[in-house]
Amino acid sequence: MKLPASWNISLRAQLALTLSLFLCLAFGAGASFWLLARRASSDRELLIASRLDALRTALHEVDDLADRYLLTGDPAWLERRRPLLERASGVRADLGRLMTGTRAAPLQAGLDVRASRRLAREEAGLALRRQGRLPPARARVLADDQRALEALDEYILRLRQMNLDDVQARQQDLWKSSRNAFLLAILACLAACALLGLVLTVFISAPIRALEKYARAWSLGEPWEHVPAHASQELHSLAACMREMTAQINQRYERERELNLFKSRLVALVSHEFNNSLTIIDNCTSRLNELEGDPNPLKKEETYRMLSANVRSLGIATTNLLGMARLETSRFSITLQRVDLRAVITEAVERLELLYRRKRQTLTLHIPDEPLLVRADPQGLAMVITNLLSNAIKYTPKEGSITIGLEPVAVDPGRALTYVRDTGIGISPEDQVKIFQGYYRTKAGQRSAKGFGVGLFLARNILEAHGSQLQVESQPESGSNFYFTLPVWRSEAPAPGPAAGAGQAAAKP
CA distance 507 to 471: 9
Cβ-based neighbours of 7, under 8 Å, separated by 6 or more = none
Residue 217, in any domain of the structure: no
Contact 321, 452 (CB under 8 A): yes
> Which H helix or E strand runs over 363?
strand 362-366
Do 325 and 464 reside in the same domain of the chain? yes
Do 483 and 348 reside in the same domain of the chain? yes
Model pLDDT for residues 329-364, shown as the tens digit of each residue: 555 677 889 999 999 999 888 878 877 888 899 999
Residue 210, in any domain of the structure: no
Three-state SS for 421? strand
Domain boundary among 266, 297, 328: 297
> Which H helix or E strand runs over 289?
helix 233-290
Do 38 and 66 reside in the same domain of the chain? yes
Do 109 and 131 reside in the same domain of the chain? yes
Do 180 and 238 reside in the same domain of the chain? no
Greatest distance between any 2 Cα atoms in the chain:
124
Q: DSSP string spanning 208-266?
A: HHHHHHHHHH--TTS------SS--HHHHHHHHHHHHHHHHHHHHHHHHHHHHHHHHHH
Residue 42, in any domain of the structure: yes
More confident site: 41 or 115: 115
- Residue 505 is classified by DSSP as P
Instruction: Give the number of other CB atoms < 10 A from CB of residue 429.
Output: 9
Residue 219, in any domain of the structure: no
pLDDT at 240: 84
Do 281 and 165 reside in the same domain of the chain? no
Domain boundary among 186, 203, 220: 203
pLDDT at residue 32 tops 70: no
Written as one letter, the residue type at 228 is: P
Which domain does 195 fall in, by range? 10-203
212, 223, 232 from 226: Cα distances, Å: 11, 9, 15
What CATH number has the domain bearing residue 356? 3.30.565.10
Q: How far is CA 31 from the centre of its chain?
A: 41
Contact 400, 422 (CB under 8 A): yes
pLDDT at residue 196 tops 90: no
pLDDT at residue 1 tops 60: no
104, 301, 309 from 287: Cα distances, Å: 109, 11, 16
Do 126 and 246 reside in the same domain of the chain? no
Do 326 and 264 reside in the same domain of the chain? no
Residue 16, in any domain of the structure: yes
Model pLDDT for residues 81-102, shown as the tens digit of each residue: 888 888 888 887 887 777 776 6
Q: 229: buried, middle or exposed (CB in 10 Å: 19+, 13-18, 0-12)?
A: exposed
Model confidence, pTM: 0.44
Model pLDDT for residues 445-469, shown as the tens digit of each residue: 777 666 667 778 888 888 988 899 9
Do 179 and 279 reside in the same domain of the chain? no
23, 168, 190, 300 from 182: Cα distances, Å: 12, 21, 13, 101
Cβ-based neighbours of 107, under 8 Å, separated by 6 or more = 155, 158, 159, 162
Domain boundary among 165, 185, 203: 203
More confident site: 327 or 432: 432
Residue 506, in any domain of the structure: no
Q: For the chain, what is the domain count?
A: 3
Do 357 and 441 reside in the same domain of the chain? yes
